Amino acid sequence: MAGVRWHRRIVHLQRSPLARDLPRLGLRGAELILLGYNTPSNNPDYPEMNSLVSFHNRLSMQSGAYQNGAWVVGVAKAGEEEGVMQLGQTMIIAPSGEVVAQATTLEDELVVHTCDLDATRPYKEGIFHFGKNRRIEHYGPITSQTEAELPG
């Protein structure tokens, strides 16, 4: 994967995560995924969704951690950049999907938590054991099209 550095069981993505990145890293056995990202605190194209920006930010990283049985460290830009306010919310998420540490301001902060890589085992070897539970024969529609088919 371009823009990815592997250090044994730790992965560093050098760009914002995409929905396909975390499963690909999970399949490669990553136990700690470091993400650098920036999320604007508002969406000028869909202002009615501004109240959900924080929720969606957390949800995507929490579900990625849980579904892949990996620690996720999301390091976010905060404050104003080029006239746009950034959401911030640097956080550390356990393989359970729980946020175990999070920045609380839009200033520079250090977010710290001891991440036990062995905590990934129940998820990788049991709940989400890819070898036992992943059925690639059902992925045809996901891999063969690029856009959603809208009803009607």
Question: Is there a domain that residue 136 lies in?
Answer: yes
Question: Is there a domain that residue 151 lies in?
Answer: no
Cβ(14)–Cβ(6) below 8 Å: no
Question: Is there a domain that residue 150 lies in?
Answer: no
The CA distance from 87 to 59, in Å, is 14
Looking only at the bridges linking them, the beta strands covering 84-87 and 78-81 are: antiparallel
Query: What CATH number does the domain containing 56 carry?
Result: 3.60.110.10
The CA distance from 105 to 88, in Å, is 8
The CA distance from 13 to 143, in Å, is 23
The CA distance from 60 to 65, in Å, is 9
pLDDT for the residue numbered 1: 46
What domain range is 39 assigned to? 4-144
Question: Is there a domain that residue 149 lies in?
Answer: no
pLDDT for the residue numbered 90: 95
Q: pTM, whole model, 2 decimals?
A: 0.79
Q: Where are the alpha helices (DSSP H) in the chain?
A: 21-27, 53-68, 121-122, 130-133, 140-144
pLDDT for the residue numbered 15: 53
Question: Is there a domain that residue 40 lies in?
Answer: yes
Backbone angles phi, psi at 3, to 5 degrees: 75, 15
Question: Is there a domain that residue 152 lies in?
Answer: no
Task: Walk along the chain (152 residues) in steps of 10 and give the mean pLDDT of each run.
Answer: 51 55 74 87 90 91 91 91 91 97 92 95 84 73 80 82
Question: Is there a domain that residue 101 lies in?
Answer: yes
> Based on the structure, what is the number of domains in the chain?
1
pLDDT for the residue numbered 12: 55
